[in-house]
Structure 1
Amino acid sequence: MNSGLSEREFIIACSQRFSALLRGKKAFLLAASALLLVSCATTPPKSLVTPLPTVTPPPVKPALPSGAESVRGVWLTTVSRLDWPPVASVTASPASRIRQQQQALTEKLDNLKRLGINTVFFQVKPDGTALWRSKILPWSDTLTGRIGDDPGYDPLQFMLDEAHRRGMKVHAWFNPYRVSTNIKPGTVRELSNTLTLHPASVYVLHRDWIRTASDRFVLDPGIPDARDWITSIVAEVVSHYQVDGVQFDDYFYTETARSALDDNATFRHYGQGFASKADWRRHNTQLLIEQVSRTIKQIRPEVAFGVSPAGVWRNLSHDPAGSDTRGAAAYDEAYADTRRWVQMGLLDYIAPQLYWPFARQAARYDVLARWWADVVRPTPVRLYIGVALYKVGEPSKSEPDWAIQGGVPELKKQLDLNDALPQISGTILFREGYLNQPQTQEAVSYLQQRWGHAGG
């Protein structure tokens, strides 16, 4: 992805907002150094870009209710049928397809129950399609092979019934802006063919909202009507299904140097008053979070709303309130000011993806886990940590610890730290399909020993 601000733009923006503190790059570095010298003080360093809000945060749930168990979760991915449904089921007869898909899901839930998993983050909106009976989105082609075809049952309702029967919670996981996973001619043709369906794809109903980024069709986050449309989708699920939570993943603004999101016209139309397009983009992302959060609480206050962002908010080299890391930053690359969302109380929980081992100097697991613990400490927002199950047991030159003794020592260290820090309320594994891979079996056995007894 492209970085959000060039160095020059960043300095100019900071100078305009904090002219008394900053006078260009030299002053920025001096300020950062000074704050580093007092890092042992009880008061955390103040960010140069997102000071603590002066407004009183709205009430949200406590970090972990007394007597409540920690989240032992897993992401169950449906995009490209990565975890579910079975690829072979798509071409089967309707009756056989339903039987295969439902059987596969119940077997997965039985396995998760044995492992002690108590929360499933189920991907119900992998792109511009739905895995529930929606009046806004067409049925997902992951189920039948063709967008809009009725699968003959409601996968979200089936998941809720089966998971709740096993004493497990379900969070509906949405990718808010993605419309398709590619821009191939066949995909364009299939999206265009939905025009006669009810509902049709957003690709044909609101073509003016669609942009290309990262070689995918996406919605332009700067268009207010597009944000309203996303909010209406979440509202539909929360209103009609007994989900325990709603989660957005880290795909807000997504682009690559080769395939950037061209929102220049949108910025000219809606971006008046912003010092830079980057600031405006972050504003747009926050508006979506605010409005979805407010909508969920109006419909069903008990439903938890969370986001799973990239693990690095900002690096210390760019902001004295950032983490001592050198990774891609959500603030600068996805235009998601996740730290501020926590401070403002817009979320019930945040689940940063800390997909690195303790020994990865550019983004140490323990450094980031402690940084996030400090972020949520003064707030009621719960903190769950996303762990890289997909790396466990895999040889890696840059991260060799994942392959030592099947990755068990590294996994144990991460879970031990999560349990030791009182601000961390749980762990989520990415992703379910890797529980069944040969290279993870030592780690899976360890998880069953550690968590299985807690699963009942």
Structure 2
Amino acid sequence: MKFCFFIKDWLRWMIGKRGVRSLGILNATSPRFLVALFLVSLIAVLQIPAIAQPPIAPPPIAPPPIAQPPIAPPPMLQVDPQPAATPQPATPQPPIAKQAEIRGVWMTSNDSDILMDQPKLEEAIGQLSRLHFNTLYPVVWNSGYVTYPSTVVQEAGIQNFVRRGIQGQDMLADLVQRAHRKNLLVIPWFEFGFMTPPTSELALNHPDWLTQQRDGTQTWIGAAGEVVWLNPFHPQVQKFITDLVLEVVTRYDIDGVQFDDHTSLPNVFGYDSYTRSLYQQETGSSPPSDPYNSSWVRWRADKITAFVRQLNKAVKEKKPNVIFSVTPNPYHVAYDSHLQDWARWVRDDLVDELIVQVYRDEMDFFTAELNRPEVKAAQKKIPTAVGILTGLRNRPVPMPFIQSKVRAARDRNLGVAFFFFESLWEYAPEPVAERQSDFLNLFPNPAVRSSI
């Protein structure tokens, strides 16, 4: 900038001293004119940046600082010298993986054709996926028959036909393929366990496989109507059930297998000749006449536990990551009345998933079952849920009551499984759209599960 002032002063001096004409400025060819023009242009170039810059504002004046009371330095922490601790070997702890909550639904073959019709099945799976369910429990063993092509039942001479879907499909294979595309687990459900109708080929062709009550009665009336019970202590019965389960495990890309409250025996049974002889051989005495006799109950329950142990081992040898799921009644009912010691199964690591069926209408009873110690103990080891009845064809359940049960389960960090698919919104007092919207409000976000 000082150089510009120098040039301007020099021009004024030259013009003032010699005049404009004496400098030759009016002569465009004059060397003096060119020098002067160059100097003027140089001055303009040097001045433009300075002109273009906005005026520099004075720095803002900061407000006076607010006086703060002096902060005392923290006191020095006095640590008493401690002797060096002797290092102890760390106890290895198994990793605990947080599992997504169970959001399941049972799919039956009674009062339903959903498993048989491909378009209906595709629509159902799509809807369940949109409502953020994650697990399907399709029936594969019901009323003495299977719902898939089975070599085992044909060799046993109990089912000379093959159940296929309306479109001719293998229903289980079709379901697995469609469900997996939507990230839904498929855990086939052996619903009838050791139970079968008295008119089934299984009962008629294998009478020696049946057990009986003390008075010789073989039939029993329950929720499934009149049935008979296979003897769970008989080795041929155990082999038959095991072969059925392994057939499903090895032939299909399933995520697990499930056994419910019928993988058991009502405590009034066990007085057949085979079981009497076995008990006599092992204990030296005849079976007690009282079916509730504690030692008699324990002996039979232990036999069923031994079978479950063998079955679990056989399944895991085929596919270690398959979920071994159990869905019994509340423990005090399961053990006392059906010889099903599922609390021990959980303790002995024979179960990968537990769903306790609590279908009572009384909310106090429902919550009391969720608070039982055996349920809490199971929660510490495996994914645990409660079975909730969403309705039957002639017994619809209002949605507010279902919501109350789901909230009670979730308050205790329990998953839920609903019985059964059609009653989610078909056999219901509310409109379908309203019912589906309510389920979406219960499960607003996905919870994707995986195999073990």
* Residue matched to 1:359: 363
* Residue matched to 1:240: 251
- Select 2:161's aligned residue among 131, 148, 158: 148
* Residue matched to 2:410: 419
Match status 1:72 vs 2:72 = no
Superposed CA deviations along residues 141-197 of structure 1, whole A, max 9, x for unmatched, are xxxxx861453431110110111111111001003544633x3xxx45xx2xxxxxx
Question: Counterpart of 1:160 in 2: which secondary structure?
Answer: helix
List alignment gaps of at least 5 residues for structure 2.
1-93, 212-217, 221-225, 284-293
Normalization by structure 2: what TM-score? 0.64
* Residue matched to 1:11: none
* Mapped contact 2:391–2:427 kept (Cα < 8 A): no
* Residue matched to 1:313: 331
- The structure-2 alpha-carbon separation of the partners of 1:222 and 1:160, relative to structure 1 and needing over 3 Å to count, comes to same
Match status 1:173 vs 2:204 = no
How far apart are the structure 1 equivalents of 2:172 and 2:163? 13
Match status 1:280 vs 2:266 = no
* Mapped contact 1:253–1:335 kept (Cα < 8 A): yes
Return the letter of the residue paired with 1:210. L
The equivalences for 1:130-279 within 5 A come to 130-138=146-154, 148-149=161-162, 151=164, 152-175=168-191, 177-178=193-194, 180-181=196-197, 183=198, 187=199, 191=201, 201=202, 203-204=204-205, 206-211=206-211, 212-214=218-220, 215-255=226-266, 261=269, 263-271=271-279, 272-274=281-283, 276-279=295-298
Superposed CA deviations along residues 44-83 of structure 1, whole A, max 9, x for unmatched, are xxxxxxxxxxxxxxxxx977x33x42121101112xx233
* Residue matched to 1:301: 320
Question: Counterpart of 2:188 in 1: which secondary structure?
Answer: strand
* Mapped contact 2:194–2:231 kept (Cα < 8 A): no
- Select 1:428's aligned residue among 399, 403, 417: 417
Question: Counterpart of 1:381 in 2: which secondary structure?
Answer: coil
Return the letter of the residue paired with 1:154. D
* Mapped contact 1:247–1:307 kept (Cα < 8 A): yes
Question: Counterpart of 1:220 in 2: which secondary structure?
Answer: coil
- The structure-2 alpha-carbon separation of the partners of 1:392 and 1:413, relative to structure 1 and needing over 3 Å to count, comes to farther
Residue 202 of structure 1, CA deviation: 7.1
Return the letter of the residue paired with 1:385. V
* Mapped contact 1:174–1:248 kept (Cα < 8 A): yes
- The structure-2 alpha-carbon separation of the partners of 1:177 and 1:373, relative to structure 1 and needing over 3 Å to count, comes to closer
Q: Which has the larger Rg? A: 2
* Mapped contact 2:106–2:421 kept (Cα < 8 A): yes
How far apart are the structure 2 equivalents of 1:252 and 1:447? 31
Superposed CA deviations along residues 207-237 of structure 1, whole A, max 9, x for unmatched, are 3113433222331112122112211211111
How far apart are the structure 1 equivalents of 2:186 and 2:344? 26
- The structure-2 alpha-carbon separation of the partners of 1:420 and 1:253, relative to structure 1 and needing over 3 Å to count, comes to closer
Question: Counterpart of 1:351 in 2: which secondary structure?
Answer: strand
Question: Counterpart of 1:287 in 2: which secondary structure?
Answer: helix
Superposed CA deviations along residues 122-158 of structure 1, whole A, max 9, x for unmatched, are 111113222222110249xxxxxx8614534311101
- Select 2:439's aligned residue among 416, 428, 447: 447
How far apart are the structure 2 equivalents of 1:307 and 1:233? 17
Superposed CA deviations along residues 267-290 of structure 1, whole A, max 9, x for unmatched, are 222214357442232122212211
Residue 444 of structure 1, CA deviation: 4.0
How far apart are the structure 2 equivalents of 1:447 and 1:250? 27
Match status 1:347 vs 2:351 = yes
List alignment gaps of at least 5 residues for structure 1.
1-60, 87-99, 140-145, 192-200, 315-328, 396-401
* Residue matched to 1:18: none
- The structure-2 alpha-carbon separation of the partners of 1:359 and 1:202, relative to structure 1 and needing over 3 Å to count, comes to closer
* Residue matched to 1:381: 382
How far apart are the structure 2 equivalents of 1:288 and 1:104? 38
Percentage of matched positions with identical amino acids: 24
How far apart are the structure 2 equivalents of 1:283 and 1:254? 12
Return the letter of the residue paired with 1:118. N
Return the letter of the residue paired with 1:270. L
Residue 455 of structure 1, CA deviation: 7.0
Match status 1:82 vs 2:111 = yes
How far apart are the structure 2 equivalents of 1:392 and 1:207? 34
- The structure-2 alpha-carbon separation of the partners of 1:75 and 1:110, relative to structure 1 and needing over 3 Å to count, comes to same
- The structure-2 alpha-carbon separation of the partners of 1:126 and 1:394, relative to structure 1 and needing over 3 Å to count, comes to closer
Question: Counterpart of 1:387 in 2: which secondary structure?
Answer: strand
How far apart are the structure 2 equivalents of 1:455 and 1:440? 26
Residue 304 of structure 1, CA deviation: 0.5
Superposed CA deviations along residues 413-442 of structure 1, whole A, max 9, x for unmatched, are 3222322324x2x21001112021132545
Return the letter of the residue paired with 2:111. L
- Aligned residues between the structures: 325
* Mapped contact 2:353–2:382 kept (Cα < 8 A): yes
* Residue matched to 1:42: none
* Mapped contact 2:378–2:384 kept (Cα < 8 A): yes
Question: Counterpart of 2:363 in 1: which secondary structure?
Answer: coil
* Residue matched to 1:321: none
- The structure-2 alpha-carbon separation of the partners of 1:277 and 1:171, relative to structure 1 and needing over 3 Å to count, comes to same
Return the letter of the residue paired with 2:343. R
* Mapped contact 2:141–2:193 kept (Cα < 8 A): no
How far apart are the structure 2 equivalents of 1:133 and 1:431? 24
- The structure-2 alpha-carbon separation of the partners of 1:438 and 1:306, relative to structure 1 and needing over 3 Å to count, comes to closer
